[in-house]
Structure 1
Amino acid sequence: MTLKKLAVASRNPVKLNAAHSALARAFGQTQWQLEGLGVASGVAEQPMTEAETRLGAENRLTALRQSVVDADFYVAIEGGYDRIQGLPYTFAYIAISDGLHTQVGRTGTLPLPESVARAIEAGGELGPLMDALFQQNDIKQKGGAIGALTDHLVDRTGIYRDTLCLLLAPWLHPELYRGEALGNA
């Protein structure tokens, strides 16, 4: 079994578990040494557009790579909010890099109740709003709004893990993607 290092731009157990699970699935013969590090996103605490959310993930990835120079893979996840065709949604952007190549993608979208959307647009943050709505504490360190609003049919760890697995396709089949889909770091 090979030992490799995975750095994640967070100390949130949901994000750490999702990243570790995705890489463990993709590279079954590898044992991953996991390092979580809180780094700045350079965007608002609650990103309010798709563009700002993506930028937050990319900024976190850059900051992580500057702070941890010896990882085999780097992962950054940024949750955000936007109205798409007038309807409120939450989603996340995920960035992954091996130090040479980078892939960035978005999770699926979760429709939000209008009351939650208005509270976010008034300056609230989704995690604390979900805590109040579902009378929980620190929901974003657990199943998140995704888990709460889908009655745990889907949760944050699973959607982040699955999105990361999709982003790993070029590393799993480099002969098919060489010079094509892998973006430059």
Structure 2
Amino acid sequence: MVLGIKSCMYCGDHLSADIDHFEPLAEAPLRAFDWLNHFLACSHCNSHEKRDRFPRDGDGAPLLVDPAAEDPHDHLMLALAAGVYTALTSRGAATIDVFGLNRQDLVDARAAAFDRTCAVLRDRRRQLRAGDTARAGRLAKSLFDQPFIDVLYTMLRVRHHPRAELVLDGPEVVEALADPALHLWPATGP
């Protein structure tokens, strides 16, 4: 997905103005100019939560999920309607802790993003049925331009699960998520 192009690589909010050294310079000074160690981050995640924290396991391997190198959803599960992350692994737990991913403002914003995404998906289906492909295209683009893209990504991942309609606010949302345009959007454009 496009997390990190406009928004914080860690929390997904649109408050990104900082460049974070994922592996702190105090631990890895030779990575100061390594592009793969630079992430767009919001000031809160970078300066108030993470700072120079970079936990490691007993073997010295990093415990934080690297959002540029691996799928965070292998380590974290998002409860969509609640907006809360749960750790699936010890690395997920460390990531939630270090970045404060369940602070109340983020939980509330992710829950609102879920409601908004469901509404846009339903409206997009109505526009497609009415033949207004231009508006439907703008609505699809809006899904990828909103903060908390992790909500849409989670929705796309769980749409195949049994009883997905219970998690995804009804069968209409599940059907809307099957639209191939939503799976190809970042690569193909409008």
TM-score (norm 2): 0.26
Q: Which has the higher contact order (CA 8 A, sep 6+)?
A: 1
Instruction: Indicate the structure (1 or 2) with the bigger Cα radius of gyration.
Output: 2
Greater strand content: 1
TM-score by length of 1: 0.26
